[in-house]
């Protein structure tokens, strides 16, 4: 599950990209990709039209693009998803608070850009925010193009991680 603020830009964009990559890896029927937001303010809204345009212009035609309805993450989502990919450190913090004292659930929360091979590698004490994917909602089309590039840069490593986890079971 990918998680951003309102579930109308970053998290649904990353879900579309990940579904495409898992399908290409022959795992479309084995891995369920979902997206949510930490806020409920956009509940029920479609994906941002600028996100839709950038995805389509870059060859993504997942039916979920037009069917998407934003929803807020719930504690139960942490139980039903093995990997929870936060777009920012603030999202990760909110998800870890939602997990409460359950270290197993909190351990499922990772920053999406941790999987980008070109992103900085965090050491002990390094601030997580250096791996944040900026919110394109406040920008123009170029902000959505930049967001998609960051999402795509990490997608193959996310797939490789999940494949390794599946083989380890």
User: Residue 85: enclosing H or E segment and its boundaries?
Assistant: strand 84-86
The verdict on whether 169 is a catalytic residue reads no
Q: How many domains does the chain have?
A: 1
Predicted confidence pLDDT, tens digits, the chain (169 residues) = 999 999 999 999 999 999 999 999 999 999 999 999 999 999 999 999 999 999 999 999 999 899 999 999 999 999 999 999 999 999 999 999 999 999 999 999 999 999 999 999 988 899 999 999 999 999 999 999 999 999 999 999 999 999 999 989 8
The verdict on whether 10 is a catalytic residue reads yes
Distant-in-sequence contacts of 126-132, Cβ < 8 A, 24+ apart = 127/89, 128/89, 128/92, 129/88, 129/89, 129/90, 131/89, 132/87, 132/88, 132/89, 132/90
CATH of the domain at 124: 3.40.50.2300
What pTM was computed for the model? 0.96
Q: Which of 9, 10, 19, 108 is catalytic?
A: 10
Which domain does 35 fall in, by range?
Answer: 2-168
Q: Which of 82, 102, 134, 135 is catalytic?
A: 135
The verdict on whether 135 is a catalytic residue reads yes
């Amino acid at each position: 599950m990918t998680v951003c603020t309102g579930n109308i830009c970053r998290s649904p964009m990353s879900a579309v990209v990940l579904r495409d990559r898992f399908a290409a890896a022959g795992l479309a029927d084995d891995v369920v990709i979902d997206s949510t937001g930490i806020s409920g303010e956009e509940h029920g809204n479609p994906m941002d039209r600028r996100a839709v345009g950038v995805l389509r212009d870059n060859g993504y035609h997942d039916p979920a693009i037009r069917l998407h309805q934003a929803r807020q993450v719930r504690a139960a989502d942490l139980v039903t998803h093995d990997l929870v990919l936060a777009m920012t450190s603030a999202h990760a913090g909110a998800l870890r608070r939602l997990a409460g004292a359950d270290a197993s659930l909190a351990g499922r929360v990772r920053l999406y850009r941790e999987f980008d091979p070109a992103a900085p590698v965090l050491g002990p004490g390094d601030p997580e925010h250096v791996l944040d994917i900026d919110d394109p909602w406040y920008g123009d089309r170029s902000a959505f193009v930049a967001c998609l590039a960051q999402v795509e840069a990490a997608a193959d490593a996310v797939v490789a991680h999940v494949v390794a986890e599946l083989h380890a079971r």
